[in-house]
A = this chain, B = another copy of it.
Amino acid sequence: MSPLVKIRAERDQMSAIERRIADFMLDNAHLLRDYSSQQLADALQISQSSVVKFSQKLGFKGYPDLKYSVGEAVARASDGQVKTTARSPRAATRESLAETLWQSKSRAEEETRLINDPETLGEIAALLSRAGKVYCIGLGDDGSAAQTFAQRLALLGTFTVHHDDPVRMTASISSAERGDVLMVFSEQGQQAALNQLSRQFRERHGKVISVTRHTSNPLRAHADATLLVSAHDERSHIQPLLYQSALQHLLDQVFVLMCDGDRLEQLNTNLEHIQHLLDPKL
């Protein structure tokens, strides 16, 4: 039970001095942190032993124990306040750049999470898991995400090819066969070259996974499975950051879904090998 409630409850049947202590604690609960039993006694012009006895009477092991409890209670009580204050409009002014940026990102990530059915994510993870070869392509910023994801897949033991360049990818794709998967990263999904690539890939009986914005676009329309990203900000320099974060979070989810028994083991083996490569002793 909260010590403050307890103090209030017992206040009535306390002696005069005890009541002084009780009142002080109720009034200054948030300041108690900086009071030792002696300082508190001095402040109230009473003896230190009275403070200790007061604590013990209330059922605490001693003064520090009571103090600790009050600290908890104050924290719990002010917790709600902090949250509501943070939401209030004027708080935005004080909040740092990092904080608002972070919130924008979080919003984008949450939106993205909402528009991708968890089951679809599971299916895509399964599709990738049993794929023969996986091809990843993306241009510009999409390319970085594609590359990183390709690398992750490779660590899991999936044979993966990554390209930034549709021309080179065309060549790679010529060896595609049934059971292979092409992941196409394209924010707008409007890239003619990528769409053509997808068509070719499907002709070779491969499955195409599109990763685009949550708009209707040709790439998405013709894909066998789709991952969708939502990220908005009126400031042109912020929006790409949000897109990247949301995309990354989405891909991370798929990646984690793929990390089961065997593949996880493979991953760890690979990480060990990499560790060796990077070892400063070399």
Give the B-binding residues of A (Cβ under 8 A).
33, 64-65, 67-68, 71-76, 79-80, 94-98, 101-102, 105-106, 109, 113, 118, 140-141, 144, 147-148, 151-152, 188, 190-192, 236-238, 240-241, 244-245, 248-249, 252-253, 255-257, 259, 264, 267-268, 271, 274, 278-280, 282
Contact = CB atoms under 8 A, between A and B. Distances in A.
20 contacts: A33-B68, A67-B68, A68-B71, A75-B79, A76-B76, A79-B80, A94-B118, A96-B118, A97-B253, A97-B257, A98-B118, A98-B253, A101-B253, A105-B252, A140-B274, A144-B144, A144-B148, A237-B267, A241-B252, A241-B256
Contacts of A67: 68
Contact of A237 (B241, B264, B278): B264
A79 to B, nearest CB: 5
A181 B118 CA distance: 44
Contacts of A248: 244-245, 248
